[in-house]
Structure 1
Amino acid sequence: MIIGSHLSIAKGFSNAAKEAVEINANTFQFFTRNPRGGKAKDLDLDDIKNLNTIREENNFGVLLAHAPYTMNPASYKDKIWNFAKYAMEDDLKRLDVIGNCLYNFHPGSHTGKGSEYGIDRIAKLLNEVLNGDEKTTILLEAMSGKGTEIGRNFEELKSIIDKVKYSDKIGVCIDTCHIFSGGYDIVNDLNGVLEEFDDIIGLEKLKAIHLNDSKMEFGSNKDRHEKIGEGTIGLDAIINFINHPKLKDLPFFLETPNELQGYKKEIDILKTRRK
Structure 2
Amino acid sequence: MTELKIGCHLSISKGFEAAGKDALKIDANTFQYFTRNPRGGKAKKTDEEDIKRFLKLAKEQNLTAIIAHAPYTLNPCSTSESTREFARMVMKDDLIRTEYIPNSFYNFHPGSHMGQGVEVGIKLISDLLNELLYEEMTTTVLLETMAGKGSEIGKSFEELAQIIDKVKLQDKVGVCLDTCHVYDAGYDIVNDLEGVLDEFEKIIGLNKLYAVHLNDSKNEFGSGKDRHEKLGKGTLGLQTFINIINHPKLRHLPFILETPNELDGYAEEISLLRKAFK
Query: What is the TM-score of this pair, normalised by structure 1?
Result: 0.99
Is residue 2:188 matched to residue 1:185?
Answer: yes
SS of the residue corresponding to residue 4 of structure 1 reads strand
* CA deviation vs aligned residue, 1:39-83 (integer Å, no higher than 9, x gap): 100111111011112211211121000001111011121111111
Contact 1:38 1:70 in 2 (8 A): no
Aligned to 2:46: 43
Which of structure 1's runs of 4+ aligned residues deviate more than 4 A?
none
Q: CA deviation at 1:21?
A: 0.4
Task: Between 127-136 and 208-217, report the one with greater CA deviation.
Answer: 127-136
Which of 16, 19, 30 is matched with 2:19 structurally?
Answer: 16
Q: CA deviation at 1:7?
A: 0.4
Q: Report sequence identity in percent.
A: 61
Which of 65, 71, 75 is matched with 1:72 structurally?
Answer: 75
Aligned to 2:221: 218
Q: How does 1:234-273 map to 2 (within 5 A)?
A: 234-273=237-276
Which of 200, 212, 222 is matched with 2:203 structurally?
Answer: 200
SS of the residue corresponding to residue 117 of structure 1 reads helix
Q: CA RMSD in A?
A: 0.8
Is residue 2:174 matched to residue 1:159?
Answer: no
* Matching residue's letter, 2:55: N
Is residue 2:59 matched to residue 1:56?
Answer: yes
* Matching residue's letter, 1:8: S
* Structure 2 gap ranges (5+): none
* Matching residue's letter, 2:36: R
* CA deviation vs aligned residue, 1:171-213 (integer Å, no higher than 9, x gap): 0000000000000000110000000000000000000000111
SS of the residue corresponding to residue 81 of structure 1 reads helix
> Separation in 1 of the partners of 2:258 and 2:101?
22
* CA deviation vs aligned residue, 1:143-169 (integer Å, no higher than 9, x gap): 001110000100000010011111111
> Separation in 2 of the partners of 1:271 and 1:58?
17
> Separation in 2 of the partners of 1:136 and 1:121?
21
> Separation in 2 of the partners of 1:55 and 1:35?
25
Matched residue pairs, number? 275
* Matching residue's letter, 2:205: G
* Structure 1 gap ranges (5+): none
